[in-house]
Chains A and B, each alone.
Chain A
């Protein structure tokens, strides 16, 4: 769409600026402020320069949490995106079942995040949970509060349960927007199902899938509540993702300086990767 150049449009954006700036800029400046200072309490601060940043960037603890975070985000993206697309392809295109499917599938998305953790806690506990009992009954040695492998398995399964529907809904919306003549042309050419998927459905879903990857990346990278309720970061530090580590440091140990420095590094990592996805998405949208 052709847009008119008009700087008065800024006035329409003022309420957003006021509200978001109050919430974003002031706290972010507080964080920056803490990140370069040392305090011994009593409101007395000393300028420390980049000491905390160096400390965080070279700390084993941060590296380990970052590695776990990438492992988690990578795994769930690799599972949820293909699975979501496959389910969307298999869904009915019309009829009464469409609404039923959509409503039931969207349900996990509306479950409060701590309840997601609680549901999976109750579901997976080895003594009283169905999953825990079933797995142990099948001869697996499963206990997510004690074993690293079980904890990760439960964590990933929980995220797949929670968020795959988002990918399904996005992919489904993309599929529904493909005009019928594309399929007719494919049929006339005698195209196989795979060819239809590869050359019609996938390119047409490109845009929504980029949104799906962007949203899933952002949300999984900043995840806190669900793993906190499920495993509390344990056993040991095995499932301590970045946010959990950060809250431990800031609220648990009151290491305000290092926590602030870590916040900024963390935020910059998210920003950098999201920016790449965002640029791709905007190129797809072809509007700006």
Chain B
């Protein structure tokens, strides 16, 4: 109790309104450890430094010339150059890789959400024959090692003549993204009281009308979080994307691995390409920053 009072009284100068706000906040949020100066901030700080050092090293490498990378050991680029980035943005084999990746990721996110939304509604609102088993079966696909699917996938998508298209990769990634999207959305939907559905039906809404006009805005956060996860897992996957494409829809990932193996030591070019793959992720995280924690808990907190 004492801590919430303390934290409220420290802000008295800011006026009554802020104080009530602060008290409300103090009442709803867990209070930080009381007493003595706390050094707790050191832990997350050190952890973030640990996370950032390898990324800094990557950035550092990407601004160096190949000569500097191999010639001397420097903590920051002495001959600062943008040449690596210029190569990537002017060479179509490089920048098409990014476009290909973004394209199949987007298709996959739309497909996964479109299929998962009604299914998640069914799981959150109804019981039906075999629902539990079906739900677990869905999750088993999230658990399946992609390595076991590589060979059959190549054969399957070749036989339906989708091999080396964006759609093939997008469809293949549905294997693990749809179960995850259903799982997340089901968690968020179960947080919406069932009375809302019933009231809407009494008011004469049809199911599709109710679902789009009333229900989807209510779980907008959940949809955003699910979209974020579909984007994320499709964006980071390499094994299937690489083996399902040859030239037409080749993702940036496989262009990078090819460069790494063929030209041996173009470390700085590789680093620049890697830096560019971090950007879409960072942008997406920025947009969902307020829901990240809850999203990772799959809507189940």
Contact = CB atoms under 8 A, between A and B. Distances in A.
Interface of A: 1-10, 12-13, 15-16, 18-20, 22-24, 26-28, 30-31, 86-87, 89-94, 97, 99, 101-115, 118-120, 122-123, 127-131, 133, 161, 164-166, 168-170, 172-180, 183-184, 187-188, 193, 207-208, 211, 218, 221-222, 224-225, 229, 242-244, 246-247, 250-251, 256, 259, 263-264, 266-267, 270-271, 274-275, 278, 285, 287-288
B182 A16 contact: yes
Categorize the interface residue count of chain B.
Answer: 35 or more
Interface of B: 1-4, 25-34, 40-44, 47-48, 50-55, 57-58, 61, 69-70, 73, 75, 111, 114-116, 118-119, 121-129, 131-132, 134, 136, 138-153, 155-156, 171-172, 174-175, 178-179, 182, 190, 194, 232, 235-239, 252-253, 256-257, 260, 267, 270-271, 274, 277-278, 280-282, 284-286, 289-290, 292-294, 296-298, 300-301
Contacts of B190: 1, 287
Given A114-B238, A130-B75, A242-B145, 20 more contacts: A4-B127, A6-B126, A10-B122, A12-B118, A15-B115, A16-B119, A20-B141, A90-B42, A90-B43, A106-B292, A120-B54, A122-B61, A131-B54, A177-B301, A222-B146, A246-B145, A263-B148, A274-B139, A278-B136, A278-B139
Contact of B235 (A110, A180, A266, A267): A110
Contact of B30 (A18, A93, A107, A287): A93
Given A20-B179, A105-B47, A114-B257, A224 B29 contact: no
B297 A250 contact: no
**Taking each of A18, A130, A131, A207, which has the highest tally of chain B beta carbons within 10 Å of its own beta carbon?**
A130
A105 B48 contact: yes
29 contacts: A1-B194, A10-B122, A16-B116, A16-B178, A19-B174, A20-B141, A23-B141, A23-B153, A27-B153, A30-B151, A99-B289, A102-B293, A104-B51, A110-B280, A112-B236, A115-B253, A115-B256, A123-B58, A128-B70, A128-B267, A161-B54, A173-B294, A174-B301, A183-B31, A208-B301, A221-B145, A246-B145, A251-B150, A271-B143
Given A20-B174, A105-B51, A285-B300, A15 B114 contact: yes
B128 A5 contact: yes
Contacts of A97: 41
Contacts of A104: 48, 51-52
A110 B228 CA distance: 10
A110 B285 contact: yes
8 A-B pairs with the lowest CB-CB distances in the bound complex, closest first: A110-B281, A27-B152, A263-B148, A90-B43, A9-B126, A222-B145, A12-B122, A30-B152
Contacts of B294: 173
Contacts of A250: 147, 150-151
B29 A94 contact: yes
Given A16-B115, A107-B278, A90 B139 contact: no
B48 A224 contact: no
Contact of A3 (B125, B235, B277): B125
A236 B18 CA distance: 64
